[in-house]
Amino acid sequence: MVLIPVIGKLVSKRVVLASASPRRQEILTNVGLRFEVVPSWFKETLEKSSFATPYEYAIETAKQKALEVANRMHLKHLRTPDIVIGADTVVTVEKQILEKPVDKQDAYEMLSRLSGKEHSVFTGVAIVHCSSKDDCLETEVTDFYEETKVKFAELSEELLWEYIHSGEPMDKAGGYGIQALGGMLVEYVHGDFLNVVGFPLNHFCKKLAELYYPPPKHTIHHTKNDSIPSVETFENLSDGESDSSDPMHHKNANKLDRSGTPLSGAVQTLVNSCSTETSCMVTVENQSGVMEYSAKFPSKIVELMDGFRASKALFVASKLKVFDLLKDKCILKAVVVADKVEASVHGTERLLDACASLGLLDKTHQGYSNTDLANKYLVSDGEYSLHGYIIHSNDRLWHLFTHLEAAVKEGTMQTHQAFGKETEDLFQRNRASEEISIIGPAVTERDKLLSNTELFFNLGKDSCYHSVEAKQRFMTAMHSIAKLTARDVATAFDLSQFRSACDLGGCTGVLAHELVQNYPNLNITVFDLPEVIANVSCFQPSGKHITPVTFTAGDFFKDNLPEADLYILSLILHHWNDEKIHILLSKISAICKPGSALLVAEMVLDEEKTYPPTAVLQSLSMTEGKQRSGSEYKQLLEKYGFTNVQIKITGNILDAILGFRKTSAH
């Protein structure tokens, strides 16, 4: 049964899994699906007695999970997904749904009921296709369920309690996990094993095939075997039968082996399926009919190798303002675009094709046009445009990371290598200035130039930033990132108890305005360097109903801080070394009254410090500061007298940390 080509249909789409289950993530990752995880906030409080069957309850729960994520991403994250997958697995015995056990005694009673009996595991799955029309979310839901019969052996008291004491039953529906220790309890499984693990992969792929490859009736064959019910298979399914208008059509048709010979259909299917390297070797049949070992195609590594090409294509298209030309549903041929951007037709056509392959442009016989993604984020004057940050990445960060090898060897930023000797001389003068500073914080001219707002980019200012135009470009970059993250930071916690706030290093005031929108009674001050405050006017929102935000010039290392109930540090702490952080947090702690709070917005690493990749990769710019895990931020705030520290992983670029000032500092 050839199902893998169906996964290829989703490569160019933003696919979201509305589940935090590591088991579901692993199942979908192993089949080659690329997706992001946004756990659903839907409270599973549906009244079970109102559903005629357990599977109807599972389907409805899965649907509500997926729809909640789709709506939240569209309205709150301003990132409309293409597809959201929701799933809910329930265990039933004698038509009663067994939840996750609340304690060990509950687990014992559940497992005792299952002992020696056959029970059913139902998984409801919802596939929600999303689109945005006039800023309204439109959804189309396809749902299904899978049932698997599981028979437990007769379980002794000793085995039951040994399993319960392992801790495994406590977060599992029905009190067991078949893929781990719980497997020793199972006598047989009748149906899809992965359905019991948490996701019916086979049925999911068949459902995708129905959606993307509606088969002619003569290709549907009914088959039956002893272990699963009658199912439909699409044995003749191939890309040759797919919709030729689909952008993924023929995507892999011309892949060659090392000798330049087109790959056979069977081997091609293997190549398409190998997007994870869980196993490095596969068995294939050669032309002589002999089975031999062959290396899997390392698509993950190739994707990483090609990443710089994709980035540069996006940067160049943005710099030439290609997406501006194609906004408002404009469709242009390559020759017209080339004329408008003053570039060669040959080169422009290749760039447009590259953007189409990356899902940024649509290509038809009429010409090229923006995708919804490009219209929202890549058009330079869009409300949520990332154009400024993209240009900054092209002009600044790209050059820094070109010298990554030297940065790793030396453990220092490579600004002088990237931007020339004039910058190096400037830094030498600043270091000399810092060395002669004796009294008070060692704040040099370089520190002044290191605008509080630049910290997200992990980049020191240099002579290239001295012009007004350059400062404006930089602030535009910061402004575009803030527009993307402000809403999630502002709504991460309930801040209604505070009456005044001070955003230290708040740049153009995007977060401040977002906070005022959510908390109209909040008086907020943005405190940033004089050269920043002098240039904020052109970034302010227009309209008579906009609540004003106060902008105050100052240096948070040297000057007195404005009094407030809530202090905010967004993208500040990760940049500075321990000495500078001590100065800053000591000042905030000293001015805070009991009950006041500190809100920190940063990218929070997991405890292994390998996720999210954005934060890990940014650390390679070798600033004097560092990225931190949640526990490290908690310890840092507690060190300066902030207690009841809460951490909210938002799913956006920035996460939020909130700590309350206790009576006395340490």
Domain with residue 310: its CATH number is 1.10.10.10
CA 19 from centroid of its chain's CA atoms: 13
Residues 204, 128 share a domain: yes
The answer, yes or no, to whether residue 444 has pLDDT greater than 70, is no
Confidence at 259, pLDDT banded by 50, 70, 90 = very low
Least confident of 111-115, 235-239, 303-307: 235-239
Cα–Cα distances in Å, from 58 out to 15, 53, 97, 189, 655? 21, 9, 10, 20, 31
pLDDT tens-digit readout, 586-614: 999 999 999 999 999 999 998 888 888 88
Quick one: DSSP state of residue 629?
A: B
CB–CB of 646/637 below 8 Å? no
Among the candidates 297, 312, 343, a domain finishes at 297
Residue 494 per-residue DSSP state: -
- Quote the CA–CA distance of 635 and 594 in Å, as a whole number: 19
* Domain membership flag for residue 471: no
pLDDT, position 4: 58
81 and 201, same domain (yes or no): yes
> Residue 428: pLDDT above 60?
no
Q: What separation in angstroms does the CA of 333 have from each of 280, 339, 340, 347?
A: 43, 10, 11, 13
- For residue 289, the model assigns a pLDDT of 55
- Euclidean distance between CA atoms 615 and 332, whole angstroms: 38
| Residue 230 predicted with pLDDT over 50 | no
Task: With CA atoms as reference, report the closest residue to 556 among 581, 575, 522, 520.
Answer: 581
Long-range contacts (CB closer than 8 Å, 24 or more residues apart) made by 549-552: 549/509, 549/512, 549/513, 549/516, 549/524, 549/525, 550/523, 550/524, 550/525, 550/526, 551/509, 551/525, 551/526, 552/525, 552/526, 552/527
Dump pLDDT digits (tens) for 522-576: 999 999 999 889 888 878 876 645 567 999 999 999 999 999 999 999 999 998 9
Both 500 and 446 in one domain: the answer is no
Q: How far apart are CA 188 and CA 266, in angstroms?
A: 32
pLDDT in tens, 140-199: 999 999 999 999 999 898 898 988 888 888 878 888 888 888 888 999 999 999 999 999
Among 350, 385, 420, the domain boundary falls at 385
d(CA 480, CA 507): 11
Position 619, amino acid = S
Residues 6 or more apart in contact with residue 96 via CB below 8 angstroms: none
**90 and 188 in one domain?**
yes
pLDDT of residue 445: 32
For the ranges 6-10, 171-175, 464-468, the lowest mean pLDDT is seen at 464-468
Q: Quick one: which H or E segment has residue 446?
A: helix 445-449
Question: Residues 58, 170: one domain?
Answer: yes
Query: Are 412 and 513 contained in the same domain?
Result: no
Domain end (from 325, 353, 385): 385
Q: What is the 3-state secondary structure (H, E, C) of 265-307?
A: HHHHHHHHHCCCCCCCEEEEECCCCCEEEEECCCHHHHHHHHH
- Give domain status of residue 234, yes or no: yes
Whether residue 269 sits in one domain with residue 222:
no
Provide the pLDDT confidence category of residue 258 given band limits of 50, 70 and 90: very low
Same domain, 13 and 58: yes
Instruction: Answer whether residue 257 is part of any domain.
Output: no
**Would you say residue 376 lies in a domain?**
yes
Residue 36, beta-bridge partner list: 16
Instruction: Answer whether residue 301 shows pLDDT above 80.
Output: yes
For residue 51, being part of any structural domain is answered with yes
Q: How much of the chain exceeds pLDDT 70, in percent?
A: 77
Average pLDDT on 480-504 reads: 92
Tell me which of 105-109, 418-422, 503-507, 508-512 is least confident.
Answer: 418-422
In the predicted structure, residue 29 carries a pLDDT above the cut 90: no
Position 440 confidence tier, pLDDT thresholds 50, 70, 90: very low
Question: Which pair of structure tokens corresponds to residue 37?
Answer: 């995880």
Find out whether 502 and 524 touch, Cβ atoms under 8 Å. Answer: yes
**393 found inside a domain:** no
Q: What span, in angstroms and rounded, lies between the C-alpha atoms of 8 and 249? A: 9
Q: Which two tokens stand for residue 410?
A: 């030396």
Neighbour tally for 400: CB within 10 Å: 23
143 and 33 within one domain:
yes
Beta-bridge partners for 660 = 597, 643
The rounded distance, in Å, linking the Cα atoms of 326 and 376 is: 12
Cα angle 385-78-23, degrees, rounded to a multiple of 5 = 125
In a domain, 557, yes or no: yes
Q: Are residues 37 and 132 in the same domain?
A: yes
Q: Are both 374 and 412 inside the same structural domain?
A: no
Higher pLDDT, 9 or 164: 164
| Residues forming the active site | 88
> What is the number of domains present in the chain?
5
The residue written with tokens 């979201």 in the block is 16
Q: Which amino acid is at 293?
A: Y
- Whether residue 49 is found in the same domain as residue 121: yes
Rounded to an integer, what distance in angstroms lies between the CA atom of residue 256 and that of residue 521? 64
Residue 74: give the domain boundaries.
4-240
CATH of the domain at 233: 3.90.950.10
8 Å CB contact between 443 and 555: yes
Return the exposure string of 195-226: e unless at least 16 CB atoms fall within 10 Å of the residue's CB, then b: bbbbbbbbbbbbbbbeebbebeeeeeeeeeee
Cis, bond preceding 612 (omega within 30 deg of 0)? yes
Residue 232 lies in a domain: yes
Mean pLDDT over each residue of the chain, to the nearest integer? 79
